[in-house]
Amino acid sequence: MAYQTLYLKYRSQRFGDLVGQDAIAQTLRNAVEQGRVAHAYLFCGVRGTGKTSTARILAKAINCLDRRGAEPCGVCANCVEIGSGAAVDLIEIDAASNRGIDEIRDLRERVKYLPATLKVKVYIIDEAHMLTTEAFNALLKTLEEPPAHVVFVLATTEPHKIPLTVASRCQRFDFRRIDTGAIAAHLASIVEQEQVKVDPPSLALLARLARGSMRDGITLLDQLISQGGEELTVQKTHELLGLADPDTLVRLLAVVTEGDGAKTLGELQRFYDAGGDVRQLVRGLLGAIREAALLSVGYQDAESLGGAASAGLERIGRAAGRNALLSLWKGLMEMEPEVRKGADARLLLEVTLLSNMTRPVPVTVPVAAPTTEAVGGERVIEPAMDAEPAMLGPDARWDALKQRLPKMVGSLLMDARLAEVKEGLVRIEFRYPAHAELMQKASNRETLLAAVREIFGADSRVELAAGEKKPATPAPAPVRSAGSIADDPLVKEAMNRFDATNVRVTPRGRG
Protein backbone atom coordinates (compact mmCIF):
# COMPACT_ATOMS: atom_id res chain seq x y z
CA MET A 1 0.00 0.00 0.00
CA ALA A 2 1.24 3.47 -0.86
CA TYR A 3 2.45 5.63 2.01
CA GLN A 4 -0.37 7.60 3.52
CA THR A 5 0.50 10.81 5.32
CA LEU A 6 -0.11 10.76 9.04
CA TYR A 7 -2.48 13.67 8.62
CA LEU A 8 -4.79 11.66 6.35
CA LYS A 9 -4.33 8.46 8.30
CA TYR A 10 -5.33 10.06 11.60
CA ARG A 11 -7.92 12.49 10.29
CA SER A 12 -10.97 12.64 12.58
CA GLN A 13 -13.73 10.29 11.41
CA ARG A 14 -16.37 11.08 14.01
CA PHE A 15 -17.59 14.18 15.81
CA GLY A 16 -16.17 12.60 18.95
CA ASP A 17 -12.67 12.55 17.43
CA LEU A 18 -12.53 16.28 16.74
CA VAL A 19 -9.90 17.87 18.94
CA GLY A 20 -10.41 21.28 20.51
CA GLN A 21 -13.78 22.09 18.88
CA ASP A 22 -16.15 20.62 21.47
CA ALA A 23 -18.87 23.26 21.22
CA ILE A 24 -19.08 23.00 17.43
CA ALA A 25 -19.11 19.20 17.54
CA GLN A 26 -21.92 19.21 20.09
CA THR A 27 -24.08 21.69 18.15
CA LEU A 28 -23.70 19.66 14.95
CA ARG A 29 -24.45 16.41 16.77
CA ASN A 30 -27.68 17.91 18.08
CA ALA A 31 -28.63 19.13 14.61
CA VAL A 32 -28.04 15.69 13.09
CA GLU A 33 -29.95 13.84 15.81
CA GLN A 34 -32.88 16.23 15.67
CA GLY A 35 -32.95 16.27 11.87
CA ARG A 36 -32.39 20.03 11.89
CA VAL A 37 -29.31 20.27 9.69
CA ALA A 38 -29.09 23.70 8.01
CA HIS A 39 -28.88 24.16 4.24
CA ALA A 40 -25.71 26.15 4.44
CA TYR A 41 -22.84 26.45 6.91
CA LEU A 42 -19.96 28.87 7.11
CA PHE A 43 -16.92 27.35 8.84
CA CYS A 44 -14.37 30.02 9.77
CA GLY A 45 -10.93 29.66 11.33
CA VAL A 46 -7.20 29.46 10.72
CA ARG A 47 -5.80 26.58 8.72
CA GLY A 48 -5.59 23.15 10.25
CA THR A 49 -8.29 23.63 12.89
CA GLY A 50 -10.63 20.95 11.51
CA LYS A 51 -12.97 22.82 9.16
CA THR A 52 -12.92 20.41 6.21
CA SER A 53 -12.64 17.36 8.47
CA THR A 54 -15.81 18.50 10.24
CA ALA A 55 -17.54 19.10 6.91
CA ARG A 56 -16.73 15.53 5.83
CA ILE A 57 -17.95 14.06 9.11
CA LEU A 58 -21.16 16.04 8.70
CA ALA A 59 -21.53 14.70 5.14
CA LYS A 60 -21.17 11.15 6.44
CA ALA A 61 -23.49 11.68 9.38
CA ILE A 62 -26.38 12.95 7.27
CA ASN A 63 -25.91 10.18 4.69
CA CYS A 64 -25.05 7.24 6.94
CA LEU A 65 -27.41 4.26 6.61
CA ASP A 66 -26.72 3.03 10.13
CA ARG A 67 -26.04 6.06 12.28
CA ARG A 68 -25.11 5.60 15.96
CA GLY A 69 -26.72 8.56 17.64
CA ALA A 70 -25.25 11.44 15.68
CA GLU A 71 -22.07 9.59 14.69
CA PRO A 72 -21.59 8.01 11.26
CA CYS A 73 -21.02 4.23 11.40
CA GLY A 74 -18.01 4.38 9.08
CA VAL A 75 -18.80 0.99 7.47
CA CYS A 76 -22.05 1.34 5.53
CA ALA A 77 -21.99 1.81 1.74
CA ASN A 78 -22.46 5.58 2.00
CA CYS A 79 -19.81 6.06 4.72
CA VAL A 80 -17.34 3.96 2.74
CA GLU A 81 -18.11 5.81 -0.49
CA ILE A 82 -17.53 9.18 1.17
CA GLY A 83 -14.44 7.90 2.97
CA SER A 84 -12.89 6.67 -0.27
CA GLY A 85 -13.19 10.11 -1.81
CA ALA A 86 -15.14 8.65 -4.73
CA ALA A 87 -18.63 9.84 -3.83
CA VAL A 88 -20.11 11.73 -6.79
CA ASP A 89 -22.58 13.43 -4.48
CA LEU A 90 -19.89 14.89 -2.24
CA ILE A 91 -18.54 17.77 -4.29
CA GLU A 92 -15.41 19.42 -2.93
CA ILE A 93 -14.55 22.67 -4.65
CA ASP A 94 -11.31 24.53 -4.11
CA ALA A 95 -12.36 28.12 -4.72
CA ALA A 96 -8.73 29.16 -5.03
CA SER A 97 -8.24 27.18 -8.25
CA ASN A 98 -9.46 28.14 -11.73
CA ARG A 99 -11.40 24.95 -11.95
CA GLY A 100 -13.27 26.03 -8.82
CA ILE A 101 -14.69 29.03 -10.64
CA ASP A 102 -15.95 26.87 -13.52
CA GLU A 103 -17.48 24.46 -11.05
CA ILE A 104 -19.41 27.21 -9.32
CA ARG A 105 -20.58 28.48 -12.71
CA ASP A 106 -22.43 25.30 -13.55
CA LEU A 107 -23.36 24.65 -9.93
CA ARG A 108 -26.71 26.38 -10.41
CA GLU A 109 -27.62 23.90 -13.14
CA ARG A 110 -26.32 20.78 -11.47
CA VAL A 111 -27.68 21.54 -8.03
CA LYS A 112 -31.22 20.84 -9.28
CA TYR A 113 -30.51 17.16 -9.91
CA LEU A 114 -31.17 14.67 -7.16
CA PRO A 115 -28.20 12.87 -5.62
CA ALA A 116 -27.05 9.83 -7.62
CA THR A 117 -26.32 7.46 -4.73
CA LEU A 118 -26.31 9.36 -1.41
CA LYS A 119 -29.32 10.72 0.42
CA VAL A 120 -28.10 14.32 0.39
CA LYS A 121 -25.67 16.10 -1.94
CA VAL A 122 -22.99 17.95 0.00
CA TYR A 123 -20.98 20.80 -1.49
CA ILE A 124 -17.81 21.69 0.42
CA ILE A 125 -16.37 24.95 -0.88
CA ASP A 126 -12.89 25.41 0.52
CA GLU A 127 -11.19 28.83 0.64
CA ALA A 128 -14.65 30.22 -0.13
CA HIS A 129 -13.44 33.82 0.24
CA MET A 130 -11.55 33.34 -3.04
CA LEU A 131 -14.74 33.08 -5.11
CA THR A 132 -15.24 35.77 -7.74
CA THR A 133 -18.16 38.18 -7.55
CA GLU A 134 -19.76 36.26 -10.39
CA ALA A 135 -19.40 32.98 -8.51
CA PHE A 136 -20.76 34.51 -5.30
CA ASN A 137 -23.79 35.74 -7.24
CA ALA A 138 -24.42 32.28 -8.65
CA LEU A 139 -24.06 30.80 -5.18
CA LEU A 140 -26.37 33.41 -3.68
CA LYS A 141 -29.16 32.55 -6.14
CA THR A 142 -28.92 28.93 -5.03
CA LEU A 143 -28.81 29.80 -1.32
CA GLU A 144 -31.93 31.95 -1.71
CA GLU A 145 -33.95 28.91 -2.81
CA PRO A 146 -32.00 25.91 -1.58
CA PRO A 147 -33.18 22.53 -2.89
CA ALA A 148 -34.08 20.15 -0.05
CA HIS A 149 -31.51 17.55 -1.10
CA VAL A 150 -28.44 19.81 -0.86
CA VAL A 151 -26.21 21.00 2.01
CA PHE A 152 -23.49 23.61 1.48
CA VAL A 153 -20.44 24.00 3.67
CA LEU A 154 -18.30 27.08 2.98
CA ALA A 155 -14.92 26.93 4.68
CA THR A 156 -12.74 30.02 4.95
CA THR A 157 -9.72 31.43 6.74
CA GLU A 158 -10.91 34.97 5.93
CA PRO A 159 -14.60 35.30 6.79
CA HIS A 160 -14.58 39.11 6.41
CA LYS A 161 -14.17 38.58 2.67
CA ILE A 162 -17.43 36.66 2.36
CA PRO A 163 -20.23 38.99 1.17
CA LEU A 164 -22.79 39.65 3.86
CA THR A 165 -25.59 38.52 1.55
CA VAL A 166 -24.01 35.06 1.40
CA ALA A 167 -22.84 34.89 5.04
CA SER A 168 -26.27 35.85 6.33
CA ARG A 169 -27.77 32.76 4.69
CA CYS A 170 -25.32 30.43 6.42
CA GLN A 171 -25.09 29.13 9.94
CA ARG A 172 -21.68 30.30 11.10
CA PHE A 173 -19.17 28.40 13.23
CA ASP A 174 -15.85 29.84 14.36
CA PHE A 175 -13.17 27.18 14.75
CA ARG A 176 -10.74 28.05 17.52
CA ARG A 177 -7.01 27.59 17.42
CA ILE A 178 -6.38 24.31 19.17
CA ASP A 179 -4.50 24.70 22.42
CA THR A 180 -0.96 23.43 22.74
CA GLY A 181 -1.78 20.78 25.34
CA ALA A 182 -4.51 19.24 23.19
CA ILE A 183 -2.23 19.11 20.15
CA ALA A 184 0.57 17.51 22.18
CA ALA A 185 -1.83 14.90 23.59
CA HIS A 186 -3.12 14.05 20.11
CA LEU A 187 0.43 13.76 18.76
CA ALA A 188 1.24 11.44 21.67
CA SER A 189 -1.63 9.13 20.72
CA ILE A 190 -0.45 9.05 17.08
CA VAL A 191 3.11 8.25 18.17
CA GLU A 192 1.82 5.40 20.30
CA GLN A 193 -0.22 3.91 17.47
CA GLU A 194 2.68 4.28 15.05
CA GLN A 195 4.96 2.62 17.60
CA VAL A 196 7.72 5.17 17.33
CA LYS A 197 9.57 6.71 20.25
CA VAL A 198 9.31 10.49 20.52
CA ASP A 199 10.05 12.02 23.90
CA PRO A 200 7.40 14.28 25.49
CA PRO A 201 9.51 17.48 25.24
CA SER A 202 9.67 16.94 21.46
CA LEU A 203 5.90 16.59 21.29
CA ALA A 204 5.45 19.73 23.39
CA LEU A 205 7.84 21.55 21.06
CA LEU A 206 5.95 20.44 17.92
CA ALA A 207 2.66 21.42 19.50
CA ARG A 208 4.05 24.86 20.23
CA LEU A 209 5.36 25.28 16.68
CA ALA A 210 1.97 24.24 15.28
CA ARG A 211 0.44 27.44 16.72
CA GLY A 212 -3.06 26.11 17.03
CA SER A 213 -3.13 24.11 13.80
CA MET A 214 -3.48 20.37 14.30
CA ARG A 215 -2.62 19.79 10.66
CA ASP A 216 0.67 21.66 11.00
CA GLY A 217 1.50 19.71 14.16
CA ILE A 218 0.86 16.33 12.53
CA THR A 219 2.72 17.34 9.36
CA LEU A 220 5.78 18.33 11.39
CA LEU A 221 5.65 15.05 13.26
CA ASP A 222 5.40 13.19 9.97
CA GLN A 223 8.50 14.97 8.63
CA LEU A 224 10.46 14.25 11.77
CA ILE A 225 9.63 10.58 11.82
CA SER A 226 10.56 10.19 8.17
CA GLN A 227 13.89 12.02 8.72
CA GLY A 228 14.73 10.96 12.21
CA GLY A 229 13.83 7.32 12.33
CA GLU A 230 12.33 5.38 15.16
CA GLU A 231 13.57 7.35 18.12
CA LEU A 232 13.46 11.09 18.58
CA THR A 233 14.88 13.05 21.47
CA VAL A 234 14.36 16.76 21.97
CA GLN A 235 17.99 17.45 20.92
CA LYS A 236 17.52 15.55 17.69
CA THR A 237 14.20 17.27 17.10
CA HIS A 238 15.80 20.69 17.44
CA GLU A 239 18.55 19.65 15.08
CA LEU A 240 16.18 18.30 12.44
CA LEU A 241 14.00 21.39 12.56
CA GLY A 242 16.98 23.77 12.38
CA LEU A 243 16.04 25.17 15.79
CA ALA A 244 18.38 26.41 18.45
CA ASP A 245 18.62 23.73 21.10
CA PRO A 246 17.69 24.76 24.65
CA ASP A 247 21.35 24.92 25.76
CA THR A 248 22.18 27.39 22.97
CA LEU A 249 19.20 29.56 23.88
CA VAL A 250 20.20 29.63 27.54
CA ARG A 251 23.85 30.42 26.76
CA LEU A 252 22.90 33.15 24.32
CA LEU A 253 20.37 34.75 26.61
CA ALA A 254 22.89 34.66 29.45
CA VAL A 255 25.58 36.56 27.54
CA VAL A 256 23.06 39.05 26.17
CA THR A 257 21.62 39.86 29.59
CA GLU A 258 25.16 40.04 31.01
CA GLY A 259 25.94 42.66 28.40
CA ASP A 260 28.79 40.74 26.79
CA GLY A 261 28.77 41.83 23.17
CA ALA A 262 31.74 39.80 22.00
CA LYS A 263 30.42 36.55 23.48
CA THR A 264 26.97 37.28 22.06
CA LEU A 265 28.36 37.58 18.55
CA GLY A 266 30.45 34.46 19.16
CA GLU A 267 27.36 32.44 20.15
CA LEU A 268 25.51 33.67 17.09
CA GLN A 269 28.43 32.73 14.88
CA ARG A 270 28.46 29.22 16.31
CA PHE A 271 24.75 28.91 15.67
CA TYR A 272 25.10 30.01 12.03
CA ASP A 273 28.11 27.75 11.51
CA ALA A 274 25.96 24.81 12.57
CA GLY A 275 23.48 25.72 9.82
CA GLY A 276 20.89 27.30 12.12
CA ASP A 277 18.06 29.47 10.84
CA VAL A 278 17.81 33.05 12.13
CA ARG A 279 14.03 33.19 12.27
CA GLN A 280 13.87 29.97 14.22
CA LEU A 281 16.47 31.35 16.59
CA VAL A 282 14.41 34.49 17.14
CA ARG A 283 11.35 32.37 17.80
CA GLY A 284 13.33 30.24 20.22
CA LEU A 285 14.67 33.32 22.00
CA LEU A 286 11.17 34.74 22.38
CA GLY A 287 10.08 31.49 23.99
CA ALA A 288 13.15 31.43 26.26
CA ILE A 289 12.63 35.05 27.35
CA ARG A 290 9.02 34.31 28.15
CA GLU A 291 10.00 31.31 30.21
CA ALA A 292 12.77 33.23 32.01
CA ALA A 293 10.25 35.94 32.93
CA LEU A 294 7.65 33.44 34.14
CA LEU A 295 10.15 31.39 36.14
CA SER A 296 11.59 34.52 37.76
CA VAL A 297 8.22 35.12 39.38
CA GLY A 298 7.85 31.47 40.34
CA TYR A 299 5.52 30.28 37.58
CA GLN A 300 6.10 27.24 35.39
CA ASP A 301 3.74 26.30 32.57
CA ALA A 302 3.24 23.51 30.08
CA GLU A 303 5.46 25.12 27.45
CA SER A 304 8.50 25.00 29.71
CA LEU A 305 11.73 23.68 28.18
CA GLY A 306 12.28 21.67 31.35
CA GLY A 307 15.38 20.33 33.10
CA ALA A 308 18.70 22.17 33.12
CA ALA A 309 17.46 24.68 30.53
CA SER A 310 14.68 25.85 32.81
CA ALA A 311 17.03 26.14 35.79
CA GLY A 312 19.36 28.27 33.67
CA LEU A 313 16.52 30.47 32.47
CA GLU A 314 15.25 30.97 35.98
CA ARG A 315 18.69 32.25 37.05
CA ILE A 316 18.80 34.56 34.03
CA GLY A 317 15.30 35.83 34.72
CA ARG A 318 16.10 36.70 38.33
CA ALA A 319 19.43 38.35 37.46
CA ALA A 320 18.23 40.37 34.47
CA GLY A 321 14.90 41.54 35.87
CA ARG A 322 11.56 41.98 34.21
CA ASN A 323 12.23 45.31 32.48
CA ALA A 324 15.35 44.11 30.72
CA LEU A 325 13.57 40.97 29.52
CA LEU A 326 10.59 42.97 28.37
CA SER A 327 12.70 45.40 26.37
CA LEU A 328 14.62 42.54 24.75
CA TRP A 329 11.34 40.82 23.95
CA LYS A 330 9.98 43.99 22.34
CA GLY A 331 13.14 44.46 20.31
CA LEU A 332 12.91 40.93 18.93
CA MET A 333 9.20 41.29 18.17
CA GLU A 334 9.92 44.47 16.21
CA MET A 335 12.34 42.55 14.01
CA GLU A 336 9.69 40.58 12.19
CA PRO A 337 8.07 43.39 10.15
CA GLU A 338 11.55 44.69 9.26
CA VAL A 339 12.64 41.27 8.04
CA ARG A 340 9.44 40.98 6.02
CA LYS A 341 10.27 44.32 4.39
CA GLY A 342 13.56 42.79 3.26
CA ALA A 343 15.99 43.69 6.05
CA ASP A 344 18.86 41.30 6.59
CA ALA A 345 17.61 39.08 9.42
CA ARG A 346 21.05 38.17 10.69
CA LEU A 347 22.33 41.74 10.93
CA LEU A 348 19.10 42.89 12.46
CA LEU A 349 19.32 40.21 15.12
CA GLU A 350 22.89 41.22 15.98
CA VAL A 351 21.91 44.86 16.24
CA THR A 352 18.80 44.09 18.26
CA LEU A 353 20.71 41.98 20.76
CA LEU A 354 23.59 44.47 21.04
CA SER A 355 21.29 47.43 21.43
CA ASN A 356 19.43 45.68 24.23
CA MET A 357 22.47 44.92 26.33
CA THR A 358 21.63 45.77 29.89
CA ARG A 359 25.21 46.82 30.65
CA PRO A 360 27.67 48.70 28.46
CA VAL A 361 29.41 46.59 25.87
CA PRO A 362 33.01 45.98 26.91
CA VAL A 363 35.26 47.88 24.58
CA THR A 364 37.77 45.50 23.10
CA VAL A 365 39.24 48.02 20.69
CA PRO A 366 40.80 51.10 22.26
CA VAL A 367 38.70 54.14 21.46
CA ALA A 368 40.55 56.87 19.58
CA ALA A 369 43.93 55.67 20.71
CA PRO A 370 46.50 58.35 19.94
CA THR A 371 48.93 57.79 17.10
CA THR A 372 48.67 54.06 16.70
CA GLU A 373 48.96 52.02 13.54
CA ALA A 374 45.57 51.87 11.92
CA VAL A 375 43.67 50.49 8.96
CA GLY A 376 45.34 50.34 5.62
CA GLY A 377 48.77 51.05 7.08
CA GLU A 378 47.95 54.74 7.54
CA ARG A 379 48.72 56.47 10.75
CA VAL A 380 45.90 57.61 12.88
CA ILE A 381 46.48 61.09 14.04
CA GLU A 382 45.09 62.06 17.37
CA PRO A 383 41.77 63.63 16.56
CA ALA A 384 42.45 67.24 15.75
CA MET A 385 39.32 69.23 16.21
CA ASP A 386 38.31 72.13 14.07
CA ALA A 387 37.65 75.39 15.83
CA GLU A 388 33.89 75.05 15.35
CA PRO A 389 32.15 73.44 17.19
CA ALA A 390 35.10 72.49 19.32
CA MET A 391 33.61 72.71 22.75
CA LEU A 392 33.68 68.94 23.17
CA GLY A 393 36.61 66.55 23.06
CA PRO A 394 36.59 63.67 20.54
CA ASP A 395 35.39 61.08 23.06
CA ALA A 396 32.54 63.29 24.14
CA ARG A 397 31.57 64.01 20.53
CA TRP A 398 31.69 60.33 19.72
CA ASP A 399 29.38 59.61 22.65
CA ALA A 400 27.14 62.46 21.59
CA LEU A 401 26.99 61.07 18.08
CA LYS A 402 25.90 57.63 19.31
CA GLN A 403 23.20 59.21 21.42
CA ARG A 404 22.06 61.57 18.70
CA LEU A 405 21.36 58.71 16.28
CA PRO A 406 18.13 56.71 16.23
CA LYS A 407 18.49 53.52 18.26
CA MET A 408 18.80 51.16 15.32
CA VAL A 409 21.55 53.15 13.58
CA GLY A 410 23.28 54.13 16.81
CA SER A 411 23.55 50.54 17.90
CA LEU A 412 25.63 49.78 14.82
CA LEU A 413 28.33 51.95 16.41
CA MET A 414 28.44 49.86 19.58
CA ASP A 415 31.49 47.93 18.55
CA ALA A 416 32.89 50.67 16.34
CA ARG A 417 35.42 53.37 17.19
CA LEU A 418 36.23 56.83 16.08
CA ALA A 419 39.51 56.23 14.24
CA GLU A 420 40.27 59.69 12.96
CA VAL A 421 38.94 63.20 12.66
CA LYS A 422 41.02 65.20 10.24
CA GLU A 423 40.24 68.10 7.95
CA GLY A 424 36.54 67.44 8.07
CA LEU A 425 36.90 63.71 7.48
CA VAL A 426 35.36 61.62 10.23
CA ARG A 427 36.65 58.12 9.97
CA ILE A 428 34.79 55.36 11.79
CA GLU A 429 36.25 51.92 12.14
CA PHE A 430 33.95 48.95 12.65
CA ARG A 431 35.00 45.82 14.38
CA TYR A 432 32.60 43.68 12.33
CA PRO A 433 32.49 44.13 8.55
CA ALA A 434 28.79 43.22 8.63
CA HIS A 435 28.01 46.27 10.73
CA ALA A 436 29.93 48.53 8.37
CA GLU A 437 27.98 47.08 5.47
CA LEU A 438 24.69 47.69 7.22
CA MET A 439 25.68 51.27 7.98
CA GLN A 440 26.60 51.63 4.33
CA LYS A 441 22.96 51.20 3.30
CA ALA A 442 21.59 54.44 1.92
CA SER A 443 19.13 55.44 4.62
CA ASN A 444 21.51 54.57 7.47
CA ARG A 445 24.38 56.38 5.80
CA GLU A 446 22.31 59.53 5.34
CA THR A 447 21.14 59.46 8.93
CA LEU A 448 24.71 59.04 10.12
CA LEU A 449 26.02 61.83 7.91
CA ALA A 450 23.38 64.27 9.12
CA ALA A 451 24.23 63.54 12.75
CA VAL A 452 27.98 63.75 12.10
CA ARG A 453 27.54 67.16 10.49
CA GLU A 454 25.59 68.39 13.50
CA ILE A 455 28.24 67.28 15.92
CA PHE A 456 31.51 67.48 13.99
CA GLY A 457 30.71 70.46 11.78
CA ALA A 458 28.61 71.17 8.71
CA ASP A 459 31.35 70.33 6.18
CA SER A 460 32.13 66.92 7.64
CA ARG A 461 32.50 63.87 5.50
CA VAL A 462 32.29 60.31 6.75
CA GLU A 463 34.45 57.36 5.98
CA LEU A 464 33.58 53.90 7.16
CA ALA A 465 36.20 51.22 7.64
CA ALA A 466 35.69 47.62 8.57
CA GLY A 467 37.90 45.62 10.88
CA GLU A 468 41.17 44.47 9.39
CA LYS A 469 39.85 44.94 5.91
CA LYS A 470 40.27 47.94 3.66
CA PRO A 471 37.97 50.86 4.26
CA ALA A 472 34.48 50.33 2.94
CA THR A 473 33.23 52.73 0.31
CA PRO A 474 33.47 56.20 1.79
CA ALA A 475 30.37 58.24 2.22
CA PRO A 476 28.88 60.43 0.98
CA ALA A 477 31.21 61.44 -1.86
CA PRO A 478 33.45 58.54 -2.82
CA VAL A 479 37.01 59.71 -3.06
CA ARG A 480 38.92 57.43 -5.34
CA SER A 481 42.65 57.37 -5.39
CA ALA A 482 44.39 58.44 -8.58
CA GLY A 483 45.44 54.83 -9.11
CA SER A 484 41.92 53.46 -9.17
CA ILE A 485 40.68 56.27 -11.37
CA ALA A 486 43.49 55.61 -13.81
CA ASP A 487 42.16 52.07 -14.09
CA ASP A 488 38.76 53.35 -15.20
CA PRO A 489 38.17 52.28 -18.87
CA LEU A 490 37.14 55.82 -19.88
CA VAL A 491 40.24 57.31 -18.33
CA LYS A 492 42.40 54.65 -19.98
CA GLU A 493 40.86 55.50 -23.32
CA ALA A 494 41.54 59.21 -22.76
CA MET A 495 45.10 58.46 -21.75
CA ASN A 496 45.64 56.42 -24.91
CA ARG A 497 44.19 59.10 -27.15
CA PHE A 498 46.37 61.82 -25.72
CA ASP A 499 49.35 59.55 -25.38
CA ALA A 500 49.48 60.44 -21.74
CA THR A 501 51.64 58.58 -19.31
CA ASN A 502 51.25 60.72 -16.27
CA VAL A 503 47.84 62.17 -15.66
CA ARG A 504 46.78 63.97 -12.55
CA VAL A 505 43.19 63.05 -11.80
CA THR A 506 41.19 65.55 -9.81
CA PRO A 507 37.79 64.35 -8.66
CA ARG A 508 34.93 66.62 -9.64
CA GLY A 509 33.98 69.36 -7.28
CA ARG A 510 37.30 69.25 -5.46
CA GLY A 511 40.73 70.86 -5.95
76 is a contact residue toward Zn ion (CB under 5 A): yes
Q: Between residues 17 and 454, which has the closer beta carbon with respect to Zn ion?
A: 17
Q: How far is the CB of 332 from Zn ion (least distance, A)?
A: 51
* Angle formed at CA 105 by CA 100 and CA 111, multiple of 5 degrees: 100
414 is a contact residue toward Zn ion (CB under 5 A): no
31 is a contact residue toward Zn ion (CB under 5 A): no
What is the SS3 assignment for 464?
strand
79 is a contact residue toward Zn ion (CB under 5 A): yes
Q: Between residues 77 and 458, which has the closer beta carbon with respect to Zn ion?
A: 77
Q: How far is the CB of 121 from Zn ion (least distance, A)?
A: 17
Name the residue among 172, 156, 108, 167 with its Cα closest to residue 135: 108
Please give the Cα distance from 407 to 402 (Å, whole number).
9
Check residue 306 and report its DSSP letter: -
Q: Between residues 78 and 304, which has the closer beta carbon with respect to Zn ion?
A: 78
β-bridge partners, 151:
122
What is the SS3 assignment for 124?
strand
Q: How far is the CB of 13 from Zn ion (least distance, A)?
A: 11
Q: Between residues 38 and 76, which has the closer beta carbon with respect to Zn ion?
A: 76
Q: How far is the CB of 68 from Zn ion (least distance, A)?
A: 9
Check residue 146 and report its DSSP letter: -
Q: Which residues touch 500 (CB under 8 Å, ≥6 apart)?
A: 494
370 neighbors 382 (Cβ within 8 angstroms)? yes
Number of residues that bind Zn ion (CB under 5 A): 5
Q: Between residues 54 and 444, which has the closer beta carbon with respect to Zn ion?
A: 54
491 is a contact residue toward Zn ion (CB under 5 A): no
- What's the alpha-carbon Rg for the chain, to the nearest Å? 32
Q: How far is the CB of 25 from Zn ion (least distance, A)?
A: 18
Q: Between residues 46 and 80, which has the closer beta carbon with respect to Zn ion?
A: 80
Quote helix, strand, coil % in the chain, to nearest 5.
Answer: 55, 10, 35
Burial (0-12, 13-18, 19+ Cβ within 10 Å), 502: exposed
Binds Zn ion (CB under 5 A): choice among 37, 38, 46, 73: 73
Q: How far is the CB of 63 from Zn ion (least distance, A)?
A: 7
Q: Between residues 76 and 96, which has the closer beta carbon with respect to Zn ion?
A: 76
**Number of other residues whose CB lies within 10 A of the CB of residue 450:** 12
Please give the Cα distance from 286 to 297 (Å, whole number).
17
User: What is the footprint of Zn ion within residues 120-179 (CB under 5 A)?
Assistant: none
Q: How far is the CB of 44 from Zn ion (least distance, A)?
A: 28
82 is a contact residue toward Zn ion (CB under 5 A): no
Q: How far is the CB of 110 from Zn ion (least distance, A)?
A: 25
64 is a contact residue toward Zn ion (CB under 5 A): yes
Q: Between residues 70 and 426, which has the closer beta carbon with respect to Zn ion?
A: 70
Q: Which residues touch 409 (CB under 8 Å, ≥6 apart)?
A: 439, 444, 447, 448
Q: Which residues bind Zn ion (CB under 5 A)?
A: 64, 72-73, 76, 79
